[in-house]
Amino acid sequence: MTPIRKLLIANRGEIAVRIMRSARARGVRTVAVWSDADAGALHVRSADEAVRIGPPEAAQSYLNIDAIIAAAKLTGADAIHPGYGFLSERPAFAAACAVAGLVFVGPPASAIAAMGDKAEAKRRMIAVGVPTIPGYQDEDQAEATLLQAASHIGFPVMVKASAGGGGRGQRIVFADGDLPDAIASARREAESAFGDRRLIIEKAVIGARHVEIQIIGDQRGAIVHLGERDCSLQRRRQKVIEEAPSPALSPEKRAAMGKAAVEAARAVGYVNAGTVEFLFDPATEDFFFLEMNTRLQVEHPVTECVTGLDLVDLQLDIAEGRPLPFAQDDIRLDGWAMEARLYAEDPAQGFLPQAGRIGRWRAPQAVRLDAGVEEGDVVTTYYDPMIAKVIAAGRTRDEARRKLAAALQEMAIIGVGNNREFLLALLEDAAFVAGEAATDYIERHLDRLAKRRPPAGAAEAACLAAILVEAPFGGLLSNWSSRGDAGFPLHLERLDGSMLQAAIALDGWRVTARLPPAGDADERLETIFVRQKDNRTLVYEHQGRLCRADFVRHDAEVEVADAFGWARYRDVTRAPAAENMTGADVVNAPMAGIVTSIAVAPGDVVEKGRVLATIEAMKMEHALKAPRAGIVASIGAKIGQQVPIRALIVALQTV
């Protein structure tokens, strides 16, 4: 056994910081790598040493094997941990580490190759008797062959990247007429994310649960499983909330799935930590092999909570040649754990990726937080939009759920749009509370779950007025405002373009807002009593309750996070009119990203809803559709171009 003395983490964000935590506890020094977009990132600041590996584009930095191996040699690292994503499931990377004399903290290249190719993995599982979903996984990739296979399997079908994972390169198709576009889109995304255009077609199991088994094996052939995680709450095959154990599994079914997972790992000579993913049909209690992730999973903390194990520490033990310190019968699951993924995205706008500088970050207490950012850090569109994971544990499922919801209520993140309100809506949803939500649940109830924060009421208008006054609290409120006296009109534009108008009156510590009548309703009047204000937080009393609002001001804009969620407003009494970059005549970029396709040319006649172009941001592809019928007047971008948010992509004119 050779101890690891210096570990390079070939990753970024929260997983890099989390790996450093376990390495530091062992007395192992750590090396971070960074792209130009991450020069001041938390994982860089957290490491003992850090090395630049390239420009922001992942293909030239975090996916650059030569640059990462060179960084390890430069710093004298003797081992590399790949984290998840990026190079973690590239057999060429594991092989390159071996050639360079570096310990790869993960499985051998042969196991990564066998399970990384979804078609090959499925063939191997069939050979050893692990249940699989009916489908097509052969080498003939002609579109006609895939269309014929889907017709034979029967709709709905799932189109999946053969070399993929993490939900990328996957599409569910309900009708044969939609299949050609789904194949083309999945191929583009698969090639972008994995450098491999091959696809497989499988029967879509509707109403199933996504249940995965954590396995771990040492270099001496011992393999055990550490129970299951339920990852059924997903959007576009991306996991949102995970838990351990699963509310849908009996002890007998857990044992059967665990045995199948261990057999799957043995079939490829697996070593180190990995996860075997299954679809579980609650109606029949049948389960089917999906894929094996030959790496640490994003959701590994919930397994750590219920087993009491540190999976990264175990990974390092195994990489050093140590045997597993326990047998299968020693594993016990104690209590319940839940994890929520905090993403930089806007659920109310189709989960569009968001970017910006975090002006306010308040971490929750009494739970585990695996974060890749701190206050003042910048979230970019170059990488995956997940910025943190909030993990809560309890004696029961409901206790863990309530603790997780309380933690999300407590935390504040301002400066970048995020899905905190969406996560809270999920945690309070009746089906999830009952443990009944399946993999298609979010998509079926998306309009309700992703509803934008309701318009501000009079009390919130008073709160916003207290935030927007020019000077901090102290003395008489009439001395705050540059508007002249103790009353002024409030005119704020919401993120959706609607207006909030109120008459504000200031009297000592009292702030009163009067909203105009809405329809037949009387005008609304509310008063708050300010208790404390600094440049980031307002504490006020309303109807006998103490409330807190965290905020950040950017010139004429103010962002507010409170118990009800996050909102952004623009003070139109002080701000210049914004240029109108939207409307039926133009198609703008809904977020910053890279243009991956242009499907039209000037002069083309298009119908409403036709896909005009696609943009990729944070590893997801987004289709831009014609807002009305018309003629393409001009194209404002090129394929491969990095464009900012609201950039003109296509201009239309009337037919």
- Enzyme catalytic residues: 295
Number of Cβ atoms within 10 Å of the Cβ of 69? 20
Provide the token pair at 188: 């583009």
One-letter amino acid for residue 495 of the chain:
L
**Length of the chain in terms of residues written:** 655
∠ Cα 64 67 70 (to 5°)? 150
Secondary structure class of 176 (helix, strand, coil): helix
CA distance 491 to 486: 16
Handedness of CA 304, 307, 310, 312 (dihedral sign): negative
Q: How much of the chain is in helix, strand and coil states, percent to nearest 5?
A: 30, 35, 40
Residues with Cβ within 8 Å of residue 33, at least 6 apart in sequence:
8, 9, 10, 11, 12, 50, 51, 52, 53, 61, 62, 67, 68, 71
CA distance 615 to 620: 8
The position carrying tokens 């996560």 is: 423
Query: Which residue, among 82, 110, 408, 111, has the nearest Cα to 240 in the 3D structure?
Result: 408
Q: Which residues pair with 278 in a beta bridge?
A: 211, 289
User: Do residues 15 and 296 lie in contact, with contact meaning Cβ atoms separated by under 8 Å?
Assistant: yes
Number of Cβ atoms within 10 Å of the Cβ of 244? 29
Report the b/e string of 142-160 with b at 16+ CB within 10 A. eeeebeebbeebeeebbbb
CA distance 334 to 324: 20
Handedness of CA 495, 496, 497, 503 (dihedral sign): negative
CA distance 527 to 512: 4
Residues with Cβ within 8 Å of residue 401, at least 6 apart in sequence:
338, 392, 394, 427, 432, 433
User: Do residues 389 and 434 lie in contact, with contact meaning Cβ atoms separated by under 8 Å?
Assistant: no
CA 635 to chain centre: 31
One-letter amino acid for residue 235 of the chain:
R
Provide the token pair at 175: 């009708």
> Hey, which bits of 468-536 come out as E strands?
487-494, 499-507, 510-515, 524-533
The secondary structure of residue 629, as a DSSP letter, is: S
One-letter amino acid for residue 565 of the chain:
G
The secondary structure of residue 284, as a DSSP letter, is: T
Provide the token pair at 403: 């603790």
Residues with Cβ within 8 Å of residue 58, at least 6 apart in sequence:
35, 86, 382, 383
User: Do residues 154 and 174 lie in contact, with contact meaning Cβ atoms separated by under 8 Å?
Assistant: no
Provide the token pair at 100: 């360079």
Burial class (CB in 10 A: 0-12, 13-18, 19+), 407: buried
Q: Please, where are the H alpha helices in 502-556?
A: none
